[in-house]
Amino acid sequence: MLKFPKQSYDHLINHFYSIILILLIIIFGISIPAFQRTPFHLFNHLSFIHGLAFYLLAISILMFYFLNKPRTVYLLDFACFKPSPVLRVPFATAAEHGRIILASQPKSIAFQVKIFERSGLGEETCLPHPLHYLPPNPNMMDARDESHLVIFSAMDSLFRQTGLDPKDIDILIVNCSLFSPTPSISAMVVNKYKMRSNVKSFNLSGMGCSAGLISIDFAKNLLQVHPEAYAVVISTEIITPNSYMGKERSMLLPNCLFRMGGAAILLTNKRSQRKHAKYSLLHVIRTHKGSDEKSYRCVTQEEDKEGHVGIALNLDLMVIAANSLKANISTIGPLVLPLSEQLLFVFNLMGRKFLKLDLKPYIPDFKKAFDHFCIHAGGRAVIDELQKNLRLSPEHVEASRMALHRFGNTSSSSLWYELGYIEAKGRMKKGDRAWQIGFGSGFKCNSAVWKCNRDIEATKNGGAWDDCIHRYPVYEPDVVKL
């Protein structure tokens, strides 16, 4: 019964300015006969100087507007690393390795098996070679080998897809949270592809799973001051040196979820590339809750009592993530939500705060602002919580669940596997808006909004989903018994 009035309200509010403009045009048209009797000769006393001054003022205002207008940032293409099948880690293999490595810790073994059963990961996720050995024996050389494999594979695919010469790259940004060698990973990329000596390269570390969108924001800001430039962003996490070998439960969880992955993204501010670009970047919103002690310490790299280094996850992680998302939403909402949703939110807030009405807090319908959602595939619990809080349908979170199932938690690059899934399914159409949401240590919640510039065909170009997209989506039981 309420559906038609609600739709009418939405259309009225969202097209308010258009309706007013149409009414003004109609009124102006009706009034034309009256204007014909107006004594326009009264304005003849205005001199040529006055007219010229007015003309120059108008030109100056227009020039100021266009010179200060932010440059549009375009995403030309991106490529995700596709691991070899020989690196896959089925549940049986992972469980067996856990039983051997933690032979004297039956409770830790049972905990890992329980996590595997409820993780949402599939049988084809991959780990680097050193972690397949018994016992694992990772070292610096192995970590470099993994970074070469992941990053160079993604970059080769990106250059093949775009036809761009590495020497054309003006800006290079690499984010890898836990592996930070010297020379840096960005220097490694410059050396491999023999980039120009004046390329502006940056290497971000220690910024967690949300660092990918931090890199996008960094590139966007650099492209505002460097005209006619190309920027490449590389997002990855190197797993080899960061596998935890101890028995603390809070530090065993990342072993069960994190897998190999990486993505390379090509951005530009060249207007000539607009027709070739896949997306335009509309917004990047960053929320940092590091001033709060609990938020700051909820994800930390530390040593256990026996000296084993690992990532410790706090029990309050989901609550902290929800609070960070709420703060991020409060910033991005006014930028993307239709006016109808903003008014409903304000009326609800006023009713609860000032009129003391017993109302539930109104959660804006973000499905009216976005067509696609890419939620960081940090784990099934993260996706479940966001689906519930944002009232999303199973199809809206399908890309996140399937990326987690096929590739696991690939840290900052997971958002690009999800966007790749949507493209591989042929669902991305011109005008669609995609919302990427990333979470990371610190604690940070970052989000980016992209607008699709053209229909993207589901063509096979050697992408990460090419050989398996026909099998997805797959059914995911709540528990996979091992």
Strands 73-80 and 279-288, sheet pairing: antiparallel
Q: What is the mean pLDDT of each run of 10 residues along the chain (482 residues)?
A: 54 60 58 49 53 64 67 97 95 87 83 90 95 88 97 97 96 96 97 98 95 98 96 97 88 93 97 95 96 94 92 91 92 90 86 83 88 95 92 96 97 97 96 97 96 90 89 89 70
21 domain-assigned: no
Residue 301 lies in a domain: yes
Name the strands in the sheet holding 73-80, side by side, starting at the edge strand that comes first in the sequence: 200-204, 171-176, 230-236, 262-268, 73-80, 279-288, 444-452, 433-440, 372-375
The answer as to whether 480 is a domain residue is no
- Enumerate residues 6+ apart whose C-beta is below 8 A from 288: 442, 443, 444
| CATH code, 243 | 3.40.47.10
Report the distance separating Cα 271 and Cα 231, nearest Å. 14
pLDDT in tens, 140-153: 999 999 999 999 99
> Are the C-beta atoms of residues 222 and 389 closer than 8 Å to each other?
no
CB within 8 Å of 431: residues ≥ 6 apart: 451, 452
Return all residues near 169 (Cβ < 8 A) that are at least 6 apart.
193, 195, 196, 199, 230, 231, 232
Q: What is the pTM of this model?
A: 0.86
| 179 part of a folded domain | yes
* Per-residue tokens: 118: 């409820």
Given its phi and psi angles, is residue 363 left (phi above 0), alpha (psi -120 to 50 degrees) or beta? beta
Neighbours of 87 (CB within 10 A): 18
Domain region containing 155: 73-471
As a whole-number percent, the residues of the chain with pLDDT over 70 amount to 86
Computed from CA positions of residues 202, 208, 212, 217, in that sequence, does the dihedral angle turn out positive or negative?
Answer: negative
pLDDT of residue 35: 45
Note the pLDDT of residue 159: 97
- β-strands 444-452, 279-288: how paired? antiparallel
Whole-number Cα distances in Å, 281 to 60, 72, 102, 303, 392: 28, 7, 47, 40, 23
Active-site entry in 409, 446, 452, 453: 409
| 92 domain residue, yes or no | yes
Whether 374 is a known active-site residue: answer no
Q: 368: closest CA among 3, 10, 5?
A: 10
- The verdict on whether 409 is a catalytic residue reads yes
Given 242, 374, 405, 453, the catalytic residue:
405
- What residue type is assigned to position 239 of the chain? I
Catalytic residue among 209, 256, 298, 445: 209
Q: What's the pLDDT at 213?
A: 98
What's the pLDDT at 58?
65
pLDDT score for 249: 87
Which listed residue (175, 269, 372, 446) is catalytic?
A: 372
Domain contains 338: yes
| CB distance 304 to 248 below 8 Å | yes
CA proximity to 256, closest of 89, 392, 396: 89
For 446, the token pair is 């970052």
pLDDT confidence of residue 385: 92
Distances (CA, A) of 339 to 24, 214, 373: 21, 28, 21
- Quick check: is 396 catalytic? no
Is residue 132 part of the annotated active site? The answer reads no
* Euclidean distance between CA atoms 285 and 438, whole angstroms: 11
434 within a domain of the structure (yes/no): yes
The total of structural domains in the chain comes to 1
Could you write out the three-class secondary structure of the chain? CCHHHHHHHHHHHHCHHHHHHHHHHHHHHHHHHHHHCCCHHHHHHCCHHHHHHHHHHHHHHHHHHHHHCCCCEEEEEEEECCCCHHHECCHHHHHHHHHHHCCCCHHHHHHHHHHHHHCCCCCCCECCHHHHCCCCCCCHHHHHHHHHHHHHHHHHHHHHHHCCCHHHCCEEEEEECCCCCCCCHHHHHHHHHCCCCCCEEEEECCCHHHHHHHHHHHHHHHHHHCCCCEEEEEEECCCHHHCCCCCCHHHHHHHHHECCCEEEEEEECCHHHCCCCCEEEEEEEEEECCCCHHHHHCEEEEECCCCCEEEEECCCHHHHHHHHHHHHHHHHHHHHCCHHHHHHHHHHHHHHHCCCCCCCCCCCCHHHCCCEEEECCCCHHHHHHHHHHCCCCCCCCHHHHHHHHHHCECHHHHHHHHHHHHHHCCCCCCCCEEEEEEEECCCEEEEEEEEECCCCCCCCCCCCCCCCHHHCCCCCCCCCCC
Residue with tokens 């990371």: 440
What pLDDT, on the 0 to 100 scale, is given for residue 394? Answer: 95
Q: What's the pLDDT at 1? A: 47
| Residue 405 designated active-site | yes
Look up residue 343 and give its two tokens: 């008014």
pLDDT tens figures, 235-254: 999 999 998 888 888 899 99
Residue in 80, 176, 328, 376 annotated catalytic = 376
* Cα–Cα distance for residue pair 437/322, rounded to 1 Å: 12
129 is catalytic: no
In a domain, residue 358? The reply is yes
